[in-house]
Structure 1
Amino acid sequence: MKSNSGGKAVRYNKWGYIFLIPFIVVFVIFQLVPLVNTIYNSFFENYMSGLTQVGPRFVGLDNYKALFSSGDIWTYFKNTMVLWIMCFIPQIFLSLLLGAWFSDVRLKLKGSRFFKTVIYLPNLIMASAFSMLFFTLFSDGGPINSLLMQIGFISEPYKFLSHAGSARGLIAMMNCLMWFGNTTILLMAGMMGIDTSLFEAAEVDGATSTQVFFKITLPLLRPILVYVIITSLIGGLQLFDVPQILTNGTGDPMRSTMTLIMYLNKHLFSKNYGMAGALSVVLFILTTVLSLIVFKVTGNDKRKG
């Protein structure tokens, strides 16, 4: 853009690049350089054996071969996806319901601002605090077991963390409670951006609330839904803090709650940087592939008429 004032041409294009400099610097230092360094380290043997440092020594694809030959990576990938699905399905249904409820001007809900704040509050609680709270509530001598025994539902304490189903259920429930508020706010913002004339026309035509939701609201929410699915998927693949604290890093029972990031953390803790780098690269590729699949399935990779 140019502006002639006193015969001098002033260029404003440079200010856009100047404002981008802080982001570019942060991205290069804290994301691009570590990413390149991780890929580089994945081709080296570099770990501690007792007090002896082994490597770094170039081994090519040996770290990747060792990673896949053990078969553990697929077990932990399955665990991660199961935990994410158990969390995401109830989360998206609850968020869509609340979003449609709060954004419907015809309901004229009182105190909606208060309730919007309340449902977002769990997102502000640290995962470590949430995990410790649930660990206390559902322990063998915790209040949940005491309540169930008092009402006669069980005769002895149920070991929630010793059964794969209940342990996974607790992790999924915690993540759902922590993130459904954030998802609700995003979906509600998308719903409030829909042209109200569409809803008015549907009301004049005699459409029910269910028809309006499935024929107008949901199709127009597709871009927001794809964004929510992909960000939730990325967060699910990076699931670490809740199962790490709840199971004390063991992934018990029978490694059914061990996630990919917990597996990665074990390599970092043992200072096996070569294997950790290889696992990080595999996780990056899995995230990219699954995100592309979401785009393909939802049809957001091309414009529709």
Structure 2
Amino acid sequence: MNKKSKVVSYNKWGYIFLIPFTVIFLIFQLVPLATTIYNSFFENYRSGLTQIGPNFVGLQNYGTIIANGDLPTYFINTMIMWLMGFIPQILLSLLLGAWFTDPSLRLKCQTFFKTVIYLPNLIMASAFAMLFFTLFSDSGPINSMLMQIGVFKEAYQFMSHVWTVRTLVATMNCLMWFGNTTILLMAGMLGIDPSLFEAAQVDGATSTQIFYKITLPLLRPILIFVMITSLIGGLQMFDVPQILTNGTGDPMRSSMTLIMYLNKHLFSKNYGLAGALSVFLFVITGILSLIVFKFTNSDKVK
């Protein structure tokens, strides 16, 4: 009887430690989510100095967003820039993780290099965007160097071309997050039993075969986590393209993301449309995360 009461007593502390998280989640996440969904069914905006609403309009806000055709365009913009940044990011992180965790290479100053590759993650995205805006402006140092070495005769307008702007956004996202991804992948690689690598080497497996046949399959849980969290972060991409394009998404709205589109409704105080767009974003995020999880979480290890 005493043993059972001790178990109950210990379990009680687990619930006590969960209270802060539960309270914060309810106040700062669940309540705003419910409020957003509630506001999406109302007409609520400001026209000049006149406040319109809140008036219940049902699904009208959802119909408006679908009818104007902007949602697919900005969704495609967001996914293109996310993929352009995520693909080199994951490849670079896998390569660095494999190097740092390979005992046969005996790399020196590992702690220093691990710190250096993580440092960009500590820089504010706004500062990063301002730096790139200055570097690649018409009168910036990049244009000056390219003209001095004869690549261009006159300044190249990086901010006026669709793919250069998208490439700059993707490059910044890659530089800011590859260090964090590398640390996560390294943690997964270090958790793999070294005896598996030793057995493979004894059997004559090459480094490439070990990586593809042992490391990658056993890294699957970490890779799924990285892909889903990166996807969610990509769909929430805002600060870098917002500052780089001064909130316009130019040229021709090709760098306008879903959150920038949402911010325009919030800035104009159109809370009904902003709420409906937030719900669409929530659903899209859930569907894409489920697709990634299903396609990468196969029970069969090839």
Q: Which runs of 4+ in 1 moved over 4 A?
A: none
Aligned pair in 2 of structure 1 residues 28, 2: CA closer, same or farther (>3 Å)?
Answer: farther
Distance (Å, rounded) in 2 between the aligned partners of 1:143 and 1:131: 15
| 1:204 to partner: Cα distance | 0.9
CA offsets 1:91-148 (integer angstroms, 9 cap, x no match): 0000000000001011110001100000000000000000000000000000000000
Please report the TM-score for the alignment, with normalisation by the length of structure 1. 0.96
Aligned-residue Cα RMSD (Å) equals 1.5
Distance (Å, rounded) in 2 between the aligned partners of 1:4 and 1:220: 39
The answer on whether the counterparts of 2:121 and 2:176 sit within 8 Å (CA) in structure 1 is yes
The answer on whether the counterparts of 2:61 and 2:273 sit within 8 Å (CA) in structure 1 is yes
The answer on whether the counterparts of 1:3 and 1:11 sit within 8 Å (CA) in structure 2 is no
- Superposed counterparts of 1:33-48, under 5 Å: 33-48=31-46
Aligned position for 1:272 = 270
Distance (Å, rounded) in 2 between the aligned partners of 1:105 and 1:259: 43
| 1:298 to partner: Cα distance | 1.1
Aligned position for 1:73 = 71
| 1:61 to partner: Cα distance | 0.2
Aligned position for 2:157 = 159
Q: What is the aligned-residue identity percentage?
A: 76
| 1:4 to partner: Cα distance | 7.6
| 1:16 to partner: Cα distance | 1.1
The answer on whether the counterparts of 1:2 and 1:12 sit within 8 Å (CA) in structure 2 is no
The answer on whether the counterparts of 2:40 and 2:276 sit within 8 Å (CA) in structure 1 is yes
3-state secondary structure, aligned to 1:250: coil
Between the two proteins, the alignment pairs up a number of residues equal to 301
- Superposed counterparts of 1:253-292, under 5 Å: 253-292=251-290
User: Gaps (5+ residues) in structure 2?
Assistant: none
Q: Does 1:184 align with 2:178?
A: no
CA offsets 1:194-230 (integer angstroms, 9 cap, x no match): 0000000111111111111011101110110010000
Aligned pair in 2 of structure 1 residues 2, 18: CA closer, same or farther (>3 Å)?
Answer: farther
Which structure carries more helix by proportion?
2
CA offsets 1:45-89 (integer angstroms, 9 cap, x no match): 000000110000000000000001000011000000000000000
Aligned position for 1:99 = 97
From 23, 26, 31, give the equivalent of 1:25.
23
- Superposed counterparts of 1:118-129, under 5 Å: 118-129=116-127
User: Gaps (5+ residues) in structure 1?
Assistant: none
| 1:12 to partner: Cα distance | 2.1
The answer on whether the counterparts of 2:78 and 2:235 sit within 8 Å (CA) in structure 1 is yes
Distance (Å, rounded) in 2 between the aligned partners of 1:263 and 1:179: 23
3-state secondary structure, aligned to 1:147: helix
- Superposed counterparts of 1:88-237, under 5 Å: 88-237=86-235
Q: Does 1:3 align with 2:3?
A: yes
Please report the TM-score for the alignment, with normalisation by the length of structure 2. 0.97
